[in-house]
Structure 1
Amino acid sequence: MFATGTSDGWVSASQHRRASPDQKRWSGIPSSYVTAQGEAMKSLRSNRHRPSILGALGAVSSWRTVTREQLACITGSKVMGTTYPASLSAPFSAGLLAHGYVSAGTNRLAPARERMSMWTIGDQVDAYTAYRKSLTFAEHVAVTGGQGWDSEHRFDRHNVLTTELALRVAEFCDVATVLGEKQVSLAQMLAAAGQSAPQEDLGRKADAGIVRHDGLVIAVETTASVGEAFRRKVAKWAQVLQRHPSYELPLVVLVVDVSTPSQATSAAAKNTTRSEIQAAIREAVRDFPGTARNRTAARLGMVSWQSWFPGLREAADDFLELSASFLQRDAEGQEGWHQVRLLDEDEMPFPDGSAGAGRTIALNARMLAGTPHWLRTGEVPRTAQYMVRFAGAEGVDALAGPLVPDRMTGPGFTQGVAGRKWRHLVGLDHTE
């Protein structure tokens, strides 16, 4: 858990081109790494480094901000763990990616190759519109999940810790899959359940999602401080949970306290971030209690980062079952915080869940380049069939079962993604 205030080390290609020689040296980016934008776009349309580029774009699209080690972990490519991989020169130069160093503490004094560095979406958002024209539909889905391409990386520490938590859950816990911020908007989750979100909830989304094998989604909200905005957010989630029982919205909200010990608002234990989060949850469930069969308190819990990860390279036993604190009443009617294992179907029941629901979400998540690579192996939905049905051409055998070579040779990339190299195999002659 690194210190706060780490967002002043970002450099985009457009900034690098305008910078003075001294500023360029400070950025640490080799001059040869930055090419002209037009040349970079031309390179992007080729097959050179195509799997790596799609993997990196998908990772930052889903998770907003990732460290170079996290990028290597998500893509399954050890090369991505280097500071400036050659494969990312073109998307960086085109403005699709931006690179930054964590500048807090001793990290700013370390050699460039040893500094903690990060990648995020670049400042040339329109560049993706041009790049999209060279992508197959499956590649576009792999990068964006069918959503828009936008830049929101203002909270780098928050994003990196959220990504790290999801990766650790994916590696060590028995879950169906994990989802980035872009895939866990309230509107999407309600649409999947056949519900429509009200206008005021269209922009509401969690920071990440953890999917149980029975289809229950654990929506993760990470926070390092508690203010009025956070209290409103918790209250809004409580209102959503009260409005939609679990059979309508298979959702549990988990607030993860990522504050450092030094962030306590005073020396008194009652004023720590943990206690303030608990107070916000207690107030929210009091205002939106739900019903006897749909208690809001049973679906809104919290946990601190240190309780799951007490030290460097250490994980507590509670992490393996995702044990968290929920507000409950005991047999004597006393209200208090009790540990609940979120992955235990007896302690966190979901009567309407099924193994098929979890498999369906995991199957669809395999199409996304932002899904950790070991969760992308196996059968994937054929996106080509979606386009065939959309065109009303299901009866055309040549389109119904296309044979497409596997273009994504990197670990775990789906076989349904094909590159430009084989497009000449299909010719459309409008003169005939």
Structure 2
Amino acid sequence: MAGAPPALYEGATGLLADARSSATAGLAAGERIDPFWSDFWPVGSKASWVNVHQMRRQVASGFARVPYWLNGNGTAALQRLHGHRLQETLAIVGALTVWQNMSAEQLAAVTGVARVATGRSALMTDLFHLGFVEVGVHADALRRTDRSARSNLYRLTRTGAIERTLYPLTSYAERLKVTAGVEEGAIGAGMHDRHGVVATELGLRIAETGSVAVMLGEHLGRVQDLISGGWHPSFDADAVALRGDGLRVAIELTASTSNVPAKLARWARLLASKPLRDSGLIVLFVTAENPNIDSSVSRNVRKRTFDAVRLAVRNTPGFPGNRTAERIGVIDWRDWYPSPGRVSPWAAALNVWFPSGPPDVPWEMRSLADPFDVEFSPRFDATAAIDNLGRCFGNPQWLRSGHRTVDPVAAHLAGLYGYAPTDLAPRVSNNGIPAGVIPPRQRW
């Protein structure tokens, strides 16, 4: 049928464990538990979460006992919060701020703190008892193994403990590496745990290919930060990749089609109003329907998303030189990772489909990693975002080196708001948050 979605990738594949990776040894994609193909979402898409306050109440009521790896003491944990451990804590809080919820292995990969990958590290136990993080586990009737703990999930709490306890110990520059200047308050994750973990895994795998300069999560994917002002703060992407020339790829991961048409219509209107040379923005939809559900209840997310992309660019085509069909791409997880432990050649090149061809054969494949295949000639300093964000703790640790700036904002911006980048945190205000913080919004 004319215009039908292209077939899934069916060519030769390689071992994911053999694929090139910039991640720390033992933490690469081929060595982590695969959150897409591994069936560890026994009930819907949620984990079972607990924070230190819930733990204390449940233990006091006799309802639960504390597992050995969560035994700890907040007072002792606070006494250890200095020196190298403080820097590791900042890296962890920064990663969870940007990616929102992560498995133990993913958190270790982004931060470079390898022992966190066990899911039972003393460092994470300390952060749990300090009230900084919550722990999520996958629960069903099966007995857990030693490897199971590596799939434990972490997210920040929303109790204010980070602002009260951690931030007063940090410098202005350190807080900027945690927050990227977006906001100081700790942001906990939402309710869709599978979505968050699979999106984080996708971002990590893209970063491991070496095809991008910066890779960041949902917290820094808001459109008003990507292109500045005029858009609702809830309009965001699940992840954002920055190519070396400053091209921004806003990534939308979808496992259902309930709101895909509305999202696409919104993105198409945005792209039509903001030419590529002025915004540097391309959108990629990645379909990731749970492959382990019964085929009889599949919602055929891939086909419906491809069809919705075609409809969106037809309804909002843009104008000559700024065709939305050349700026909204789509790919399925299985096109890049066709089966457990396998990877296709399309993944390293970031090959995706665009509906930019003629009506009878609309789908054309282009490589997002290739600046000659997806050209970008900006009329603004597109690489400034790489300098500003490259050192953020949410950026995977192997991508943080080699940037021109020392801190995630230019020194004159820090001076403009009253602090040199090396100044200690200012006096704590009545609400427990350091006074004099940067404004809640700064364009990348």
What is the alpha-carbon distance in structure 1 between the residues aligned to residue 120 and residue 328 of structure 2? Answer: 41
What's 1:367 paired with?
391
1:67 maps to 2:103: yes
Tell me: CA distance 1:381–1:10, structure 2 relative to 1, closer, same or farther (3 Å): same
Q: Please say if residues 280 and 382 of structure 2, whose CA atoms lie closer than 8 Å, have aligned partners that are also in contact.
A: no
Does the aligned pair in 1 maintain the 2:207–2:214 contact within 8 Å? Answer: yes
* CA 292–44 in structure 1, closer or farther in 2 if over 3 Å, else same: farther
Does structure 2 retain, via aligned residues, the 8 Å contact 1:61–1:144? yes
SS at match of 2:355: strand
Is 1:291 aligned to 2:319, yes or no? yes
1:343 and 2:355 are equivalent in the alignment: no
Is 1:385 the counterpart of 2:425? The answer is no
Taking the aligned partners of 1:146 and 1:388, their CA distance within structure 2 comes to: 10
1:12-411, aligned counterparts within 5 Å? Answer: 12-20=51-59, 23-25=63-65, 28=67, 30=69, 32-33=71-72, 35-36=73-74, 39=75, 42-43=78-79, 46-47=82-83, 49-103=85-139, 108-111=142-145, 114-115=148-149, 116-125=151-160, 127-148=162-183, 149-191=186-228, 196-198=229-231, 201-227=232-258, 229-263=259-293, 266=296, 272-330=300-358, 333-352=359-378, 357-358=382-383, 360-379=384-403, 380-382=405-407, 385-386=411-412, 389-390=415-416
Query: Measured at CA, do residues 235 and 41 of structure 1 come closer, stay the same or move farther in structure 2, by a change above 3 Å?
Result: farther
Q: Is the Cα–Cα contact under 8 Å of residues 184 and 205 in structure 1 kept in the other structure?
A: yes
Letter in structure 2 aligned against 1:374: W
Q: How far 1:323 moved relative to its partner?
A: 0.8
User: 1:81-114 deviations in whole A, cap 9, x for unaligned?
Assistant: 122222233321232211111236x8x5223553
**CA apart distance, 1:69:** 0.8
Please tell me the residue identity of whatever aligns with 1:169: I
Amino acid at match of 2:203: A
Contact residue 265 and residue 272 of structure 1 kept, 8 A: no
> Equivalent residue for 1:11?
50
The separation in 2 between residues aligned to 1:44 and 1:145, in whole angstroms, is 26
Taking a change above 3 Å as real, the CA distance of residues 387 and 243 of structure 1, as seen in their structure-2 partners, is closer
Equivalent residue for 2:32? Answer: none
Distance 1:85 1:31, change over 3 A: closer
When normalised by structure 2's length, the TM-score is 0.77
Q: Would you say the 8 A contact 1:179–1:210 is kept in 2?
A: yes
Q: Which has the higher contact order (CA 8 A, sep 6+)?
A: 2
Say if 1:297 and 1:387 are closer, same or farther in 2 by CA, change over 3 A: closer
Q: C-alpha distance in 2, partners of 1:176/1:245?
A: 22
- TM-score normalised by the chain length of structure 1: 0.79
Distance 1:267 1:12 in 2: 35
TM-fit CA distance, 1:46: 3.7
The structure number with the bigger radius of gyration is 1
- Is there any run of 5+ residues in structure 1 with no aligned partner, and where? 394-398, 400-415, 421-432
Structure 2 CA distance for partners of 1:31 and 1:174, relative to 1, 3 Å: closer
Distance change >3 Å, CA 321–CA 63, structure 1 → 2: same
- Aligned-partner SS, 1:49: helix
* TM-aligned CA deviation for residue 245 of structure 1: 1.0
2:300 alignment partner AA: T
SS at match of 1:261: coil
**Percent identity over paired residues:** 27
Question: SS at the partner of 2:278?
Answer: coil
Task: Call closer, same or farther: CA 1:214–1:182 in 2, change over 3 Å.
Answer: same
The runs of 5 or more residues in structure 2 that have no matched partner are: 1-35, 426-444
The total of aligned residue pairs comes to: 380
Contact kept, 8 Å, 1:92 with 1:122, in 2: the verdict is: no
Task: Quickly say closer, same or farther: Cα 1:20–1:45, change in 2 above 3 A.
Answer: closer
Per-residue CA distance 1:21-52 (angstroms, 9 max, x = gap): 76433x6364522x34xx37843764461111
2:366 counterpart SS class:
strand
User: Which structure has greater helix proportion?
Assistant: 1
Query: What is the CA-CA distance between 1:368 and the residue it aligns to?
Result: 0.9
Instruction: Compute the displacement of 1:340 (Å).
Output: 1.6
2:100–2:187 contact (8 Å) kept in structure 1: no
Displacement after TM superposition at 1:320 (Å)? 1.1
Which letter does structure 2 place at the counterpart of 1:160? Answer: V
